Amino acid sequence: MKIWVLTLFPEMFQGPLSTSILKRAKEKGLFDYQLVNFRDFAKDRHRTVDDTPYGGGAGMVLKPEPVFAAVDSIMAQANSCPYRILTTPQGEPFNQRLAKELAAKEELLFICGHYEGYDERIRSLADREISIGDYVLTGGELATMVMIDAIVRLIPGALGDEQSAQNDSFSEGLLDYPQYTKPAVFRGLAVPEILLSGHHARIAAWRRRQALQRTAERRPDLLAKLDLTAEEREMLQQMGYPAPTCEE
Question: Which amino acids are annotated catalytic?
Answer: 89, 116, 153, 168
**Residue 4 contacts residue 32 (beta carbons within 8 Å):** no
Q: How far is CA 137 from the centre of its chain?
A: 15
Q: How far is CA 9 from the centre of its chain?
A: 20
DSSP string, 167-209: HSTTTTSSPPPP---S-SEETTEEPPGGGGS--HHHHHHHHHH
Q: Quote the CA–CA distance of 108 and 30 in Å, as a whole number.
A: 14
Peptide bond into 89 cis (omega under 30): no
Q: Quote the CA–CA distance of 132 and 124 in Å, as a whole number.
A: 20
Give 116's contacts (C-beta < 8 A, 6+ positions apart): 53, 57, 58, 59, 60, 61
DSSP 25: H
Q: Quote the CA–CA distance of 217 and 221 in Å, as a whole number.
A: 10
